[in-house]
Structure 1
Amino acid sequence: MPKNKSHSGAKDRFKVTGSGKIMRRRANKNHILEHKTSKRKRKLGTEAELAPADTKSIKKLLGM
């Protein structure tokens, strides 16, 4: 039985922490940043933990 390949797009978008949590980027930080406040842009820069409902499917894509 061959190994399963991990999904290249998922590999780029998600990061697994040492404790096994999956981290993701926040939305709304790509463009039209002029009218967003500095505070908002700063908060969007931090990574967020993936929602429990999505974790199972993303782990499958990452080959876990």
Structure 2
Amino acid sequence: MPKLKTKKSAAKRFRVTGSGKKIMRRKAFKNHLLERKSKERTRRRLSNMAVVHETDELRVRLMMPYS
């Protein structure tokens, strides 16, 4: 069976936890228009990693077959 290719865009956006059971992602809305967003929002809430929702997890795993 041939090797499967990893979608490089997905590999840059997602990380798998050490156990391999969860996939982590960055939170949105932290790229631009930051002057109107509060520091509490940008530093505390948006800086943390988030777990990919279980309904999207299968799609992400298909994009990264060897993770």
Give the TM interval when normalised to the shorter protein.
Answer: over 0.9
- Matching residue of 1:39: 40
Q: Structure 2 counterpart of 1:14, which letter?
A: F
Q: How does 1:24-63 map to 2 (within 5 A)?
A: 24-42=25-43, 43-63=45-65
1:28 is paired with a residue of what secondary structure? coil
Using the size of structure 2 for normalisation, the TM-score is 0.91
Structure-2 separation of matches of 1:19 and 1:27? 25
TM-superposed deviation, 1:19: 1.8
1:3-61 Cα distance to aligned partner (Å, 9 max, x none): 10110000000000112210001010000000100110011011000000000010010
- Matching residue of 1:19: 19
Structure-2 separation of matches of 1:52 and 1:39? 28
Residue ranges of structure 2 left out of the alignment (5+ in a row): none
- Give the number of equivalent residue pairs: 64
2:5 is paired with a residue of what secondary structure? coil
- Matching residue of 1:7: 7
Q: Structure 1 counterpart of 2:65, which letter?
A: G
Structure-1 separation of matches of 2:11 and 2:62? 11
State the identity as a percent.
45
Using the size of structure 1 for normalisation, the TM-score is 0.95
